[in-house]
């Protein structure tokens, strides 16, 4: 049992990656469509490239979206409006008219005239309420058919223009009075009916919409059908008109038909195979070409998480409306991976992600072409992401590539630009703007996953930071030494293609442990008094060696990234404090070497190896007396050769050719520091 536990513990990293691989595969497959995919590709106006196609089953020919939209518009245009009438209002107005008429027209008017006036008033009321008076001014076409309902029972049918709104009441009164030749009484009648007339027609919106929806639901979405084994299209035939609609109907029917349990399981299995193959290729790439990333579970999790996130966001957008598919800023992915890792890994992961998305999005070939080209442009153009101008320029270039590629595909499909919807380009502009979100996203990822980007390294390289200011105050000599080492290391890194920004930051912080006991290090001894004169050799060696451990503690206290702490931990490797070792050996022959040896580890990257060389050369160069080019060359060769002989670079991925280039840079830089002239032969 204990052997099994030990074996599991030894392989826990691989087990974690296996579980991560399985979990990611199933999550992505869960987001994929669970139907079959039509195996033929076709485009309107292009020849049918496959073999003769016969109907695999009976299916109906679906109407095009344009046909359905036209039918819906026709039904809406000819729909009926329903108004509810309140008959009690007319009776109430008639009763009030009889009582108010006597008040409005005095008894001095002859009886015959009063009867004529009374009948004219009754005619006005009858004509006003023949259909009814609208409660408000509705903005409907005049030729719309109107049905007037009383208690939900049809009472009248008319045109909307026949209904009277409240603004037309006055003109109606005037017309009747003119016809009755009673214009002299216009003021009295207008005053009388101003208070009497009440609207009795109300628009029944809910009932109107209900009837309209019932009519719309009666629309047939198909026209005709195709029998099984019927020839649909022959090879070479142009896909257009009815042929195109039949093919679209077959594709839609094939992808939307109800699948039985067996088919459903096979589709899931096939999708799982495709997704697992894609993710496996990514893991194999990391295993072969990015071993340091592969061995770091946090970094592998970070890569898988970002791929899943892009698939998830794209799926949400496609499910909502595939029209907005190009708003999703896929190019954020290579930007993030390039910021934290390198361009090659960023491009490989981007291509894998786009291949996965090809099973989700419509027009998959067009989509994959655009996104892969955009990803390549992103990798090629974005350099020094921490510079804001570079990011804006690159986003502009990415957006331009999207627009050009989309325009080319549209012309190929349609054959002209007449039907091009220029507003589509807005989605690409929005995508470019969304890509700018990469900066805050990088900051969030740094905090969540403990990674370090060039943006953070730039901030750490500021010599006005709190920790470096403290170093310059407490140990000014060490601070000056660190600056010199940073300059040397940066030049060497540029020469051999290492991460110059990372190595510069590592050099600035590599000796911060000397702040605890600054006077015990010769570069800080400005008074000429050496405290080591009062100490035993072992004690002196312990204090010197201890600055590495103290540096790590200070770095963790100030939350420096692990990648920077690695430089503190490895800049002396497992070398010895030779001065005190020799001094101790002079006193007694048998000396324990481990007491004078740095704890390590040895440098395990190109950058940490470069820092060890630069640190040793810069520190020892202070002891050079009357330096010449020959002395400097011999001096650099001897120091680095000694480190090679001690095996300090065995764990670092650095070649002899690169070491030779570093030596050359160091010799040149030291010659410039000491202002040496070329030595001419005598």
pLDDT digits (tens, 9 = 90+) for 522-559: 888 877 787 887 788 888 888 999 999 999 999 999 98
pLDDT-based confidence at residue 226 (cuts at 50, 70, 90) = confident
Residue 663 pLDDT > 90? yes
Cα–Cα distances (Å) from 207 to 84, 153, 565, in that order, read 10, 12, 74
Residue 579 burial (CB count, 10 A): 15
Residue 26 lies in a domain: no
Looking at residue 110, its pLDDT comes to: 79
Q: Give which of 540, 91, 14, 55 is closest to 251, Cα–Cα.
A: 55
**In a 10 Å sphere around its CB, with 0-12 CB exposed, 13-18 middle and 19+ buried, how is residue 117 labelled?**
buried
- Provide the CATH number for the domain around residue 478: 1.10.3210.10
Q: Are 276 and 411 contained in the same domain?
A: yes
Q: Are 581 and 434 contained in the same domain?
A: no
Q: Are 163 and 266 contained in the same domain?
A: no
Work out how many domains the chain is built from and give that number. Answer: 4
Residue 291 pLDDT > 70? yes
Q: Are 188 and 331 contained in the same domain?
A: no
Q: Give which of 455, 562, 469, 457 is closest to 504, Cα–Cα.
A: 457
- Kindly state the average pLDDT of the residues 666-670: 90
In the three-class reduction of DSSP (H, G, I as helix; E, B as strand; rest coil), residue 652 is classed as coil
Residue 681 pLDDT > 60? no
- Quote the domain boundaries for residue 47: 39-63+220-257
Looking at residue 643, its pLDDT comes to: 92
Residue 14 lies in a domain: no
State the chain's mean pLDDT as an integer.
84
User: Which DSSP string corresponds to 341-383?
Assistant: S-HHHHHHHHHHHHHHHTTTSSSHHHHHHHHHHHHHHHHHH--
Q: Are 241 and 353 contained in the same domain?
A: no
Q: Are 553 and 641 contained in the same domain?
A: yes
Most confident of 36-50, 130-144, 294-308: 294-308
Q: SS3 string of 39-64?
A: CCCCCCCCECCCCCEECCCCEEEECC
Residue 11 lies in a domain: no
- Kindly state the average pLDDT of the residues 443-452: 85
Does 278 sit behind a cis peptide bond, omega within 30 degrees of 0 on the bond before it? no
Looking at residue 680, its pLDDT comes to: 43
For 450-477, give one letter per residue: b (16+ CB within 10 A) or e: ebbbbbbbbebbeeeeebbeebbebbeb
Q: Are 226 and 357 contained in the same domain?
A: no
User: Which DSSP string corresponds to 429-458?
Assistant: HHHHHHHTTHHHHHHHHHHHH----HHHHH
Looking at residue 117, its pLDDT comes to: 79
Looking at residue 3, its pLDDT comes to: 66
Q: What is the DSSP letter of 449?
A: H
pLDDT-based confidence at residue 386 (cuts at 50, 70, 90) = low
Structure tokens at 131: 């259909």
In the three-class reduction of DSSP (H, G, I as helix; E, B as strand; rest coil), residue 464 is classed as coil
pLDDT tens per residue, range 178-207: 887 878 777 777 777 777 888 888 888 888
What is the rounded CA–CA span in Å between residue 355 and residue 276? 12
Residue 624 pLDDT > 90? no
- Residues 104, 121 contacting (CB under 8 angstroms): no
Terminal C-alpha separation, the chain: 79
What is the rounded CA–CA span in Å between residue 444 and residue 440? 6
> Taking the model in full, what pTM does it have?
0.63
Answer with the one of 428, 447, 466 that is the final residue of a domain: 447
Q: What is the DSSP letter of 259?
A: P
Answer with the one of 391, 414, 447 that is the final residue of a domain: 447
The alpha carbon torsion through 329, 331, 335, 340 (nearest 10 deg) reads 80
Structure tokens at 178: 């003119």
What is the rounded CA–CA span in Å between residue 211 and residue 149? 14
Residue 202, H or E segment: strand 201-203
Residue 678 lies in a domain: no
Most confident of 244-248, 496-500, 582-586: 496-500
Residue 25 lies in a domain: no
Residue 353 pLDDT > 90? yes
pLDDT tens per residue, range 394-441: 888 888 888 888 888 888 766 677 777 777 788 888 888 888 888 888
Note every long-range contact of 591-600, with CB atoms under 8 Å and residues 24 or more positions apart, other chains counting. 595/538, 595/541, 595/542, 596/538, 596/541, 596/545, 597/545, 598/545, 598/548, 598/572, 598/573, 598/574, 599/545, 599/548, 599/549, 599/574, 600/569, 600/570, 600/573, 600/574
Residue 258 pLDDT > 50? no
Structure tokens at 221: 């979405």
In the three-class reduction of DSSP (H, G, I as helix; E, B as strand; rest coil), residue 167 is classed as helix
Q: Are 549 and 609 contained in the same domain?
A: yes
Residue 327 pLDDT > 80? yes
- Residues 578, 548 contacting (CB under 8 angstroms): no
Residue 130 pLDDT > 60? yes
Contacts of 502 (CB under 8 A, 6+ apart): 452, 457, 563, 564, 607
Looking at residue 677, its pLDDT comes to: 46
Looking at residue 221, its pLDDT comes to: 79
- Residues 25, 275 contacting (CB under 8 angstroms): yes
Q: Are 282 and 253 contained in the same domain?
A: no
What distance lies between CA 551 and its chain's CA centroid?
A: 39
For 279-302, give one letter per residue: b (16+ CB within 10 A) or e: beebbebbeeebeebbebeebbeb
Contacts of 99 (CB under 8 A, 6+ apart): none
Q: Are 252 and 308 contained in the same domain?
A: no
- Strand 153-159, strand 53-54: pairing: unpaired
Whole-number percent of the chain with pLDDT over 70: 92
Q: What is the DSSP letter of 422?
A: G
- The Cα angle at residue 284 between residues 283 and 290, in degrees rounded to 5: 80
pLDDT greater at residue 623 or residue 78 = 78
Q: Give which of 422, 401, 431 is closest to 325, Cα–Cα.
A: 431
Looking at residue 16, its pLDDT comes to: 92
Whole-number percent of the chain with pLDDT over 90: 28
**In a 10 Å sphere around its CB, with 0-12 CB exposed, 13-18 middle and 19+ buried, how is residue 186 labelled?**
middle
- Kindly state the average pLDDT of the residues 357-375: 86
- Kindly state the average pLDDT of the residues 88-112: 78
Residue 115 burial (CB count, 10 A): 11
What is the rounded CA–CA span in Å between residue 408 and residue 402? 10
pLDDT-based confidence at residue 570 (cuts at 50, 70, 90) = very high
What is the rounded CA–CA span in Å between residue 117 and residue 300? 97
pLDDT-based confidence at residue 388 (cuts at 50, 70, 90) = low
- Kindly state the average pLDDT of the residues 502-527: 89
Residue 351 lies in a domain: yes
- The Cα angle at residue 237 between residues 231 and 243, in degrees rounded to 5: 60
Q: Are 284 and 342 contained in the same domain?
A: yes
Beta bridge partners of 82: 147
pLDDT-based confidence at residue 384 (cuts at 50, 70, 90) = low
Answer with the one of 421, 447, 473 that is the final residue of a domain: 447
Looking at residue 225, its pLDDT comes to: 80
- Kindly state the average pLDDT of the residues 132-143: 85
101-105, 198-202, 634-638, 672-676: the lowest-pLDDT one: 672-676
235-249, 458-472, 625-639: the lowest-pLDDT one: 235-249
Looking at residue 509, its pLDDT comes to: 95
Residue 15 lies in a domain: no
For 141-159, give one letter per residue: b (16+ CB within 10 A) or e: eeebebbbeeeeeeebebe
Q: Are 393 and 301 contained in the same domain?
A: yes
Residue 478 pLDDT > 50? yes
Residue 662 pLDDT > 80? yes
Most confident of 1-5, 19-23, 69-73: 19-23
pLDDT greater at residue 413 or residue 518 = 518
Residue 507 lies in a domain: yes
């Amino acid at each position: 049992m204990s052997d099994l536990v030990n074996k599991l513990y030894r392989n826990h990293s691989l087990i974690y990656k296996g579980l991560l691989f399985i979990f990611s595969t199933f999550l992505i497959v869960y987001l994929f469509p669970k139907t079959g995919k039509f195996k033929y590709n076709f485009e309107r106006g292009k020849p049918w490239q496959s073999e003769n196609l016969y109907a695999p089953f009976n299916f109906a020919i679906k109407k095009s979206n344009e046909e359905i939209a036209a039918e819906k518009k026709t039904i809406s245009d000819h729909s009926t409006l329903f108004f509810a009438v309140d008959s009690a209002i007319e009776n109430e107005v008639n009763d009030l008219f009889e009582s108010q008429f006597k008040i409005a027209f005095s008894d001095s008017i002859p009886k015959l005239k009063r009867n004529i006036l009374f009948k004219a008033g009754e005619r006005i009321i009858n004509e006003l309420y023949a259909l009814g008076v609208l409660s408000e001014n509705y903005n409907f076409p005049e030729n719309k058919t109107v049905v007037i309902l009383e208690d939900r029972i049809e009472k009248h049918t008319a045109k909307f223009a026949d209904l009277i709104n409240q603004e037309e009441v006055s003109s109606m009164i005037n017309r009747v009075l003119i016809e009755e030749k009673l214009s002299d009484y216009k003021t009295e009648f207008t005053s009388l009916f101003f208070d009497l007339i009440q609207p009795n027609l109300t628009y029944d919106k809910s009932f109107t919409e209900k009837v309209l929806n019932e009519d719309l639901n009666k629309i047939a979405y198909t026209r005709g059908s195709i029998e099984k084994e019927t020839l649909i299209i022959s090879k070479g035939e142009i896909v257009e008109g009815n042929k195109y609609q039949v093919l679209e109907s077959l594709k839609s029917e094939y992808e939307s038909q109800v699948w039985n349990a067996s088919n459903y399981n096979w589709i899931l299995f096939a999708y799982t195979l495709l997704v697992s193959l894609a993710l496996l290729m990514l893991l194999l790439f990391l295993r072969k070409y990015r071993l340091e990333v592969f061995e770091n579970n946090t970094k592998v999790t970070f890569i898988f998480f970002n791929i899943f996130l892009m698939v998830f966001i794209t799926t949400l957008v496609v499910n909502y409306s595939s029209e907005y598919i190009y708003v999703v800023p896929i190019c954020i992915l290579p930007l993030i991976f390039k910021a934290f890792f390198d361009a090659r890994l960023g491009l490989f992961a981007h291509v894998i992600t786009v291949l996965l998305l090809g099973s989700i999005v419509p027009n998959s070939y067009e989509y994959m072409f655009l996104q892969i080209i955009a990803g390549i442009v992103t990798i090629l153009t974005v350099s020094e992401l921490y510079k804001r101008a570079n990011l804006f320029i690159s986003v502009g270039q990415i957006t331009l590539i999207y627009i050009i590629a989309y325009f080319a595909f549209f012309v190929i499909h349609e054959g002209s630009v007449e039907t091009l919807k220029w507003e589509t380009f807005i989605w690409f502009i929005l995508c470019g703007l969304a890509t700018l979100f990469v900066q805050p996203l990088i900051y969030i990822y740094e905090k969540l996953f403990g990674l370090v980007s060039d943006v953070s390294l730039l901030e750490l390289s500021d010599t006005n930071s709190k920790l470096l200011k403290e170093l310059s105050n407490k140990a000014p000599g060490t601070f000056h030494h660190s600056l010199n080492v940073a300059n040397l290391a940066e030049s060497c890194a540029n020469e051999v293609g290492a991460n110059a920004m990372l190595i510069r930051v590592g050099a600035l912080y590599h000796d911060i442990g000397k702040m605890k006991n600054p006077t015990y290090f010769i570069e800080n001894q400005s008074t000429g008094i050496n405290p080591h004169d009062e100490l035993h050799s072992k004690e002196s060696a312990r204090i010197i060696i201890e600055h590495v451990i103290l540096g790590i503690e200070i770095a963790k206290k100030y939350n420096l990234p692990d990648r920077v702490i690695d430089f503190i931990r490895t800049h002396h490797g497992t070398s010895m404090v030779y001065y005190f070792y020799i001094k101790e050996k002079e006193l007694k022959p048998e000396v324990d070497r481990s007491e004078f040896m740095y704890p390590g580890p040895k440098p395990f990257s190109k950058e940490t190896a470069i820092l060890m060389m630069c640190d040793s050369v810069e520190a020892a160069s202070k002891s050079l007396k009357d330096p010449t080019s020959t002395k400097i060359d011999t001096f650099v060769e001897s120091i680095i050769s000694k480190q090679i002989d001690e095996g300090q670079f065995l764990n670092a991925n650095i070649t002899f050719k690169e070491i030779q280039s570093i030596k050359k840079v160091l010799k040149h830089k030291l010659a410039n520091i000491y202002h040496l002239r070329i030595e001419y032969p005598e």
